[in-house]
Structure 1
Amino acid sequence: MNSPPMRPEEILQGLYDQTLVGNGPRVLELTHQALGQEMEPQSLLFDALIPALEEVGARFERGDFFVPEMLIAGRAMAGAMAVLRPLLADTGVATIGKFVMGTVKGDVHDIGKNLVNIMLEGAGFEVIDLGVQVAPEKFVEAVRQHKPDILGFSAFLTTTMPMFKANINALQKAGLRDEVIVMVGGAPVTQEYADAVGADGYAADASATVKRAKDLLNKRRALVSA
């Protein structure tokens, strides 16, 4: 006997729960099921997937979750995002801005960066990820090519944090520093350090990054139109 189809609220609850535990195949299955029932892609994103990742972030901060749990939850959401992204574009969820992101030269950590990317995409940014070990000249080239609103540098090691300054110097030399908002982040980074290297913004975690990015963008746009 076939079980009755799940109600929309059951699907959303399932998506939330399964993203939280990082069950990628089930998240994908529920995403397809929801779309089959003509549920709105935005609803899946804002009522289930993003809240689940925010809860993952909160549990990480409390020490209930560790990096592996964050990673598998992020991957589970990324699977759903791959399906939803083209649909969100079709529904005219306008991109709110363009964000180029990369882990600095000498550093191969990308867990935090990848989570931030997923959250930014979920919030409506177009994200161009340059990957890890990104040299200053590669960031400069990406700014020329993509003309992003925001440029993000990520560092996980204290030893690679000085690359923030090297990257900003490279932008200045290329005459591009004023063209773009620079945000920095990563485990050892602090607001003080961000200020010291001359970044425009810093955020401690993925959800804070989205909020800060929107604030910085709104401020810049208000100045431009003033």
Structure 2
Amino acid sequence: MNQELLPQLSECVEFGKINLASPYPPAMKGKPGADEYAQQAIEEGITPNDILDELIGAMNKVGQKFSENKIFVPQMLLSAKAMNAAMMHLKPFFMSGAVQRKGVFIIGTVFGDLHDIGKNLVSMMIEGAGWEVIDLGIDVKADKFVEAIQQHPGAVVGISALLTTTMVNIKPVIEAVKTTSANTRIIVGGAPLSAEFAQSIGADAYGRTPQDSIKWLDSISN
């Protein structure tokens, strides 16, 4: 077994090297990326759980760098895409039950809001942290969140808004979800939101950054 495979995979995720064809980062141009290393790791018999642990560790590093303003959203998105490319090779093992996820996370941008970059970033980061993510997309009405909760009992819900004009739409969604399933945990996020606002509308948590959201999710899954 190639002992360098997992460190190489981790490096690709940390620095956003998606696959062999990816020109970014320039220092790694022409080299394999997360896609190829994950496939090779599976072929060489490295366990899917060990690969997942490596991906989670790499994304933790990325999240920490972001929290310290050492990298910014474009770099984070590339890392998340690299992680996603590697995760595609683990999907069959998730489906078979050979690898267990930490839980199910349902996410969507609230109705009236068509922004998705922040939501997509959070989705990819949380998937990289070991959760199954159900992405409902943008402009998501309350009944769609409720339906998703009914299909995935015990799931955690994330609601995003980017505008001050749409952040007020989160409250009726929370009310609808809590009416259907009082024990469902809900985290909210987005540029105009705050911890105080989240508390005022009945959310269980506020995620200022993807890393904040992951830390909270891990705290309630243990």
| Equivalent in the alignment of 2:67 | 61
Aligned-pair RMSD on alpha carbons? 2.3
CA distance in 2 between partners of 1:109 and 1:14 (Å): 34
- Equivalent position to 1:207, from 203, 206, 211: 211
Shift of 1:179: 4.3
Structure showing the higher helix proportion among its residues = 1
Instruction: Provide the TM-score with structure 2 as the length reference.
Output: 0.82
* Between 58-67 and 189-198, the greater mean CA deviation after superposition: 58-67
Distance 1:69 1:108 in 2: 23
Deviation at 1:135, TM superposition (A): 1.7
Q: Within 1, Cα distance between the matches of 2:62 and 2:80?
A: 9
- The alignment status of 1:194 with 2:201, answered yes or no, reads no
Three-state SS of the structure 1 residue aligned to 2:182 is helix
TM-score by length of 1: 0.81
**Matched residues, number:** 209
Structure 2 CA distance for partners of 1:88 and 1:98, relative to 1, 3 Å? closer
Percent of residue pairs bearing the same amino acid type: 41
- CA shift, 1:126, in A, is 2.6
Instruction: Decide whether the 8 Å contact of 1:20 with 1:53 is kept in 2.
Output: yes
> Residues 94 and 101 of structure 2 are in contact (CA less than 8 Å); yes or no, is this contact kept in structure 1?
no
Q: Which amino acid in the other structure matches residue 2 of structure 2?
A: R
Partner deviation per Cα, 1:89-128 (whole Å, 9 max, x = no partner)? 4463333332211111232333332333234334443321
Q: Does 1:29 align with 2:36?
A: yes
Q: Secondary structure at the match of 2:132?
A: strand
**Separation (CA, whole Å) in 1 of partners of 2:69 and 2:199:** 28
What's 1:38 paired with?
Answer: 45
Residue in 2 that maps onto 1:147: 153
